[in-house]
Amino acid sequence: MKHQRLIYLITLVLSITLLLAGCGGKGGTTGQEKGKGEKVLKIGASLSFTGQLSREGNLTKKGYDLWVKKVNEAGGINVNGEKYKVEIVYKDDQSEAQRSAKLTEQMITEEGVNFLLGPYSSGISAATAAIAEKYNKLTIVPLANAPSLYEQGYKNLFGVLPLATTYLNGVLDLAKTLDPNLKKVAIISPDALFSLSVAEGAKKYAEANGFQVVYYDKYPADTKDLSSMITNIKNAGAQILLGTGYLADGVLAVRNAKDLGYKPAIMAFTIATSIPDFRNSLGADAEGIMGGEWWTPNMKWTGDIFGSAEDYAKLYKAEYNEDPAYYSAAASVAGVILQKAIEKAGSLEVDKVRDAMRSLDIQTFWGPIRFNERGVNVGTSSAAVSQIQNGQVVVVWPEELQQSKPLYPKP
Amino acid sequence: MNNSAVARRRFPLSIVVLLAAVVILAILPFYIRGYWIRVLTTLFMSAVLAEALNLVVGYAGYAAFGNGVFFGLGAYTTAVLMTRFGWSFFPAMIASCFLAATVAFLLGWPVLRLRGHYFAIATIGINMAVMEIVTYVGITGGGKGISLPLFPGDIVKQGLFFYYGMFILLIISVAITYWIANSRLGYGLRAIKTEPEAAEVMGVNTTLYKVLAWSISAAITGIAGSLNAYWLTFLEPLFVFDIMISVEAFVMVLLGGPATIFGPVIGAFFLKLLSELIWSQFTLIHMGVLGLIIVVITLFLPSGIMGLWRQMTLRWNKANTARTSPGSQ
């Protein structure tokens, strides 16, 4: 019979499967003895090292690694008098949610980790958080800040960044102090999770603060031309233009605005000032543009593990020979948060560490850290605002972080 | 290997082996941990997608390159019904199945008139168009994605639910393939594949047959998407309308052997296990290694693993008969 042979093949494949399943070995435990009585705390991190999000994934890893190095140089995490060296188990999710979910489960059941440092994107974090929740393992996500992620009622998820919805609030706060006649706001957003969250948040905040949102619309994420939108915005007489897209969206909006002779008094983008490419590709046209800034090395925050933001930047530069982006800083501070919570709890038990997280109130080089009941960091209320002045990025808001007076109106 | 002894026996043994495989896979989750349950569940899902695609690609000979669209449709239908309308999972799953099948049925009439590359490109176009629609329509959450309710019950129950869900779906899709392969529909499809005009002359209702095959394929794919959505708990258009889902299933079909009953399943197991092994070895270059393997396999195994297997057994049988004939050895 023809089928007979096929069946043998199936058996063969099946036995390979079984063999592989058997190879899993025993899951490790969180606190492990290693060599000369040295104790090791294993932490899991599934990141995107390849695929669409590989850049962010690698920056995140650098931040984690720097924290690990710092902790281990100091002898490790102090758990009730015993020092635990830190080791992060990295997995590559290839920027795919399904794979990230699988790897997270692998780290929990095969590697026996109790604590997870999160992936970059909110979408992927949503998939892994669901698993960590079921296994009762703690996840600290440094960068995922879509509001929907924190509306699921997960008790084991903590985020470092303030919610995306607050990203551009600072720009509006600043606008109020600059000129009482600034009223008309236009908000444009590409159709993507993060950007839409920012745009919705900004719209709500603007309306609550007496601004008039004269234009609000989204466009497909890979748009190559925004001129019709800009024309409508110009006709609506918007004095403030807020764009919530990524690098390319900002560049496009600025170019289209210039072509159409549209000159708003304030132009701000979510991701613009923080990336050197933005200044490089726009040159003089970038002058006066503002951006939300979760963290920069010149912010005046300081904490006990890494010292000040500036110290952190120096250490980072010495290690990687490049300036730190906020991705890496957020990742490092995620490690710091976990460390502080474990030390406060004096235990490696998830329940105790979670309780410690809930009541955590610390100062770090990233800024103050405090979590609300949903796991959102409410230590700072929104992103700072920076502006490009003479080709340099300077923080202009809030006042306590201000390095230079805002350039207003935009030239 | 004592295969030679067993190989001489007849049909019943193969049934026994198949049943044993099913029984082993059915009791396996009680002996392995969460991660491996998940790996096997993913494996079953890939096998289901490949098996469903096989009906169109293997039997009817239509390169449905964008078949993943039904996966996404199933996923989103379930997500929207559960999240926005408070349906429970099973009714939502059935609705997803029907919606996918209906869309395939309606689109099939115009699209399946196209042949070769044209059809392949049209299906990719459909995939992209549907993704855009899903992104644009407010009810799906658009680019922001949509969260499904978490599976009630602990992680063990959750793991088992999706494991058996996918496993049963796989068995059903293999059974359907078996039934089709041996039915009038299957013969008709193969006739369409070899000589469409001749098939028509012989009285095969070619359009209806093709549309039926595509609808059945879509229905199975839609259920897989539905299960996947509930399993993953969060959807973004790009997660489920990713063209790679279709491409991967396609590779599995070609790798295993198109127009065979078990080929796609074997292709799926092979590719998935291979990549699982590769991932653990080379974290940074796995895509490259995987790509290379795919190239090598498609170059040297044009008719898939099943074809190779057939060739090998043929040679082996010849060698056997030569050996048993007087004079040799």
Cis peptide before A409 (omega within 30 of 0): yes
Please indicate, yes or no, whether residues A228 and A246 belong to a single structural domain of this protein: yes
Name the pLDDT band for B2 (thresholds 50, 70, 90): very low
Rounded to the nearest angstrom, the gap between the alpha carbon of residue A328 and the centroid of all alpha carbons in its chain is 9
Range in A68-77, A89-98, A391-400, B296-305 with the lowest mean pLDDT: B296-305
Per-residue pLDDT band for A26 (boundaries 50, 70, 90) equals: very low
Residue A248, domain member (yes or no): yes
Q: Do A21 and B40 touch (CB under 8 A)?
A: yes
Given a cut of 80, is residue A336 above it in pLDDT?
yes
- pLDDT at residue B281, as a whole number: 64
Mean pLDDT of chain A: 87
pLDDT reported for residue A353: 95
How far CA A68 is from CA of A165, A314, B40, in Å, comes to 31, 17, 34
Question: Which range is least confidently modeled, A56-65, B40-49, B283-292?
Answer: B283-292
* Residue A290 CB burial class (10 angstroms; 0-12, 13-18, ≥19): buried
pLDDT confidence tier of residue A391, bands split at 50, 70 and 90: confident
At B69, is the pLDDT very low, low, confident or very high (cuts 50, 70, 90)? Answer: very high
The closest CB to that of B36, out of A9, A24, A146, belongs to: A24
Q: Find the mean pLDDT for residues B275-300.
A: 70
Give the per-residue pLDDT at B104: 94
Of A161 and A12, which is predicted with more confidence? A161
**Domain interval for residue A42:** 31-162+299-370
Q: Token digits for A352? A: 């105790």
Q: Cα angle at A95 between A94 and A101, to 5 degrees?
A: 85
Inside any domain, residue A21: no
Other C-beta atoms within 10 Å of A173: how many? Answer: 18
Nearest to residue B177, comparing CAs of B305, B58, B271, B42?
Answer: B58
Q: What pLDDT, on a 0 to 100 scale, did the predictor assign at position A259?
A: 92
Residue A124 lies in a domain: yes
User: What integer is the mean pLDDT of A263-283?
Assistant: 85
- pLDDT for A41: 93
For strands B234-235 and B146-147, give the pairing.
antiparallel
Indicate if A41 and A139 belong to the same structural domain: yes
Domain assignment present for residue B11? The answer is no
B14 contacts chain A (CB < 8 A): yes
Categorize the per-residue pLDDT at A27 as very low, low, confident or very high, splitting at 50, 70 and 90.
very low
pLDDT number for residue A15: 60
Q: A191 and B143: CB-CB below 8 Å? A: yes
Residue with tokens 């070995």: A25
* A275/A391 same-domain check: yes
Task: Identify the pLDDT of residue A205.
Answer: 94
Strands A115-117, A138-141: pairing is parallel
Give the pLDDT of residue B85. Answer: 94
In chain A, positions 201-220, which contact chain B (CB-CB < 8 Å)? 218, 220
Establish if A410 touches chain B: CB-CB under 8 angstroms: no
For chain A, what percent of residues have pLDDT higher than 90? 55
The per-residue pLDDT for range B223-247, each reduced to its tens digit, is: 999 999 999 999 988 889 988 888 8
Residues 6+ apart with CB under 8 A from A392: none
Residue A293 bridge partners (DSSP) = A384
B326 confidence band (pLDDT: 50, 70, 90): low
pLDDT for residue A35: 54
- At A350-360, the pLDDT tens digits run 999 999 999 99
Q: A130–B261: do the CB atoms touch at under 8 Å?
A: no
Whether A96 maps to a domain, the answer reads yes
Instruction: For residues A73 and A179, state if they share a domain.
Output: no
Domain contains A10: no
pLDDT of residue A52: 78
Mean pLDDT of the region A379-394: 86
pLDDT classification of A382: cutoffs 50, 70, 90: confident
- Supply the pLDDT for residue B6: 46
Query: Nearest residue of A to residue B242 by CA position?
Result: A96
Which residues between 275 and 294 in chain B have a beta carbon less than 8 angstroms from any beta carbon of chain A?
Answer: 276-277, 279, 283-284, 286-287
Tally the domains of chain A.
Answer: 2
Residue A241 shares a structural domain with residue A267: yes
What are the Cα distances from residue B312, in Å, to A9, A28, B315, B320? 12, 43, 5, 12
More confident position, B42 or A11: B42
Are the Cβ atoms of B143 and A90 closer than 8 angstroms? no
**Above 90 in pLDDT, residue B153?**
no
Put simply, whether A110 touches B (Cβ < 8 Å) is: yes
Residue B29 lies in a domain: no
What is residue B49's predicted lDDT score, i.e. its pLDDT? Answer: 96
Provide the CATH number for the domain around residue A141. Answer: 3.40.50.2300
Let me know if residue B328 belongs to a domain. Answer: no
pLDDT of A29 higher than 50 = no
The answer to the question of residue B126 being in a domain is yes
Token pair recorded at residue A214: 């004269």
Nearest CA in chain B to A137: B155
Of B172 and B112, more confident: B172
Contacts with A, B 134-173, CB within 8 Å: 135-136, 142-145, 147, 150, 154-155, 158
The model's pLDDT over A77-89, given as tens digits with 9 standing for 90+, comes to 999 989 999 999 9
Predicted ipTM beyond 0.85 = no
Query: Does A307 share its domain with A320?
Result: yes
Task: Indicate whether A23 belongs to any domain.
Answer: no
Question: How many angstroms away from the CA of B194 is the closest CA of chain A?
Answer: 22
What is the reported pLDDT for A255? 92
Total domain count, chain B: 1
Q: Which residues of A touch B270 (CB under 8 A)?
A: 13
Q: Is B1 on the interface with A (CB under 8 A)?
A: no
Let me know whether A95 and A231 are in one domain: no
- A111 close contact with B: CB closer than 8 A: no
Compare CB distances from B270 to A13, A21, A90 and report the shortest one's residue: A13
pLDDT the model gives residue A217: 92
Regarding whether A130 and A46 lie in a shared domain, the answer is yes
Model pLDDT, residue A23: 44
Contact B242, B230 (CB under 8 A): no
Give the separation between CA A227 and CA B250, rounded to whole angstroms.
Answer: 41
Q: What is the mean pLDDT of residues A279-302?
A: 87
Q: Is residue A22 part of a domain?
A: no
Query: What are the beta bridge partners of residue A41?
Result: A31, A86
Between chains, do B14 and A92 touch, taking CB under 8 Å as contact? no
B302 assigned to some structural domain: yes
Residues A90 and A218 in one domain: no
Residue A140 has a pLDDT of: 95
User: Is beta strand A212-219 parallel, antiparallel or unpaired with respect to A184-190?
Assistant: parallel
Provide the pLDDT confidence category of residue A260 given band limits of 50, 70 and 90: very high
Question: Is 70 exceeded by the pLDDT of residue A409?
Answer: yes
B16 assigned to some structural domain: no
A200 and A277 both lie in a single domain: yes
Q: Which residue of B has its CA nearest to A58?
A: B284
Q: Are A6 and B136 inside 8 Å of each other by CB?
A: no
Residue B173 belongs to what domain range?
A: 35-323
Domain CATH code at residue B314? 1.10.3470
* Percentage above 90 pLDDT, chain B: 39
Structural domain includes residue A378: no
Start-to-end Cα distance in chain A: 82
**Pairing mode of beta strands A384-389, A392-397:** antiparallel
B266, closest residue in chain A (CA to CA): A10
Residue B196 to residues A274, A303, B110, B206: CA-CA distances in angstroms? 60, 75, 16, 7
pLDDT at A22: 46
Query: Per the structure block, which two tokens stand in for A31?
Result: 């606190």
The reported pLDDT for the residue numbered A13 is: 59
Q: What is the pLDDT of residue B4?
A: 47
Structure tokens at B88: 């429970």
Say whether both A204 and A228 belong to one domain.
yes
Examine residue B2 and state whether it is found in any structural domain, yes or no: no
Q: Which two tokens stand for residue A331?
A: 């990742």
- Residue B13 belongs to a domain: no
B123 and B65 in contact (C-beta within 8 Å)? Answer: yes
Q: Name the B residues in 18-77 with CB < 8 Å from any A CB.
A: 18, 20-21, 24-25, 28, 32-36, 38-40, 42-43
Q: Do A344 and A390 belong together in one domain?
A: no
